[in-house]
């Protein structure tokens, strides 16, 4: 199966975009899928963190985006869109190369090509996951997510005109992950990628 998968990838400029609000597990899932399908993985969030680091932020802590420093950088981005524009331009370059998986909130709207996946989960479920990850209370996680997502939506509404988490028009697949664990989500997406994106022959 692995050989067939890599052969299919070599013959087409595959571009897969994965999006979802914080706490859906999209970043971990993106890396796992990229490894399985021999794709280069690029994360818009990681690229933004590198820019924040260059601005003097300490981005080393777990769950940095939901930390006070992460929220302060988010405020900077609301005021000045240069960070987001720089990252999006770079991700568009990577997409043109093909054979990539993009973990990004913006690429589904900015790219014409590619297979686009949205991972959906309730705020309650996501807050629980973030609380466990960052060792904070669920109420704290809930408040942080609300603030972060309100500001993030404002950035993309201003820059590109779409409403993150509400506009699903660009997506080829919207997967409700509320009642699925991480492994089940991974298995579902592997089936979709095999059958729809790559048309990998079934092993006999």
Average pLDDT, rounded, for the chain: 89
- The string of pLDDT tens digits covering residues 166-181 is 999 999 999 999 999 9
- pLDDT higher than 60, residue 41: yes
Considering the four listed CATH numbers 3.40.50.300, 3.30.930.10, 3.10.20.30, 3.50.50.60, the one that applies to the domain covering 2-197 is 3.40.50.300
For residue 11, pLDDT beyond 70: no
**The pLDDT of residue 203:** 52
pLDDT value, residue 64: 87
Q: What is the pLDDT of residues 15-32, one digit of tens each?
A: 999 999 999 999 999 999
**pLDDT computed for residue 145 by the predictor:** 93
Distances, alpha carbon 136 to alpha carbons 54, 128, 167, 181, in Å: 28, 9, 30, 21
pLDDT band per the 50, 70, 90 thresholds, residue 195: very high
DSSP string computed for 23-39: TS-HHHHHHHHHHHTT-
The full length of the chain comes to 204
Tally of CB atoms within 10 A around 53: 14
Q: What is the rounded CA–CA span in Å between residue 81 and residue 63?
A: 22
pLDDT band at 95 (very low <50, low <70, confident <90, very high): very high
| Residue whose entry in the numeric block shows the structure tokens 């090509």 | 113
- Residue 142 CA to residue 124 CA, distance in Å, equals 7
Q: How far is CA 101 from CA 13, 52, 68, 108, 138, in A?
A: 11, 23, 29, 12, 31
Is the pLDDT confidence value at 193 over 50?
Answer: yes
Domain positions in the chain are 2-197
pLDDT score recorded for residue 204: 44
Q: Which two tokens stand for residue 67?
A: 């930390």
């Amino acid at each position: 199966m692995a050989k067939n998968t890599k052969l299919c990838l070599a013959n087409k400029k595959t571009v897969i975009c994965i999006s979802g609000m914080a706490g859906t597990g999209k970043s971990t899932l993106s890396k796992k899928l990229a490894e399985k399908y021999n794709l280069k993985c690029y994360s818009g969030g990681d690229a933004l963190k590198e820019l924040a680091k260059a601005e003097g932020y300490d981005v080393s802590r777990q769950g940095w985006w939901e930390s006070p420093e992460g929220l302060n950088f988010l405020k900077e981005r609301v005021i000045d869109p240069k960070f987001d524009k720089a990252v999006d331009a770079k991700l568009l370059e990577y997409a043109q190369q093909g054979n990539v998986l993009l973990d990004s909130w913006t690429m589904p709207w900015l790219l014409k090509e590619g297979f686009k996946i949205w991972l959906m989960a309730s705020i309650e479920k996501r807050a629980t996951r973030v609380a466990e990850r960052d060792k904070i209370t669920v109420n704290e996680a809930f408040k942080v997510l609300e603030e972060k997502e309100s500001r993030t939506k404002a950035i993309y509404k201003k820059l590109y005109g779409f409403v993150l988490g509400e506009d699903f028009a660009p997506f080829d697949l919207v997967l409700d992950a509320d009642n699925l664990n991480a492994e089940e989500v991974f298995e579902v997406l592997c089936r979709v990628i095999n059958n729809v994106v790559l048309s990998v022959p079934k092993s006999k």
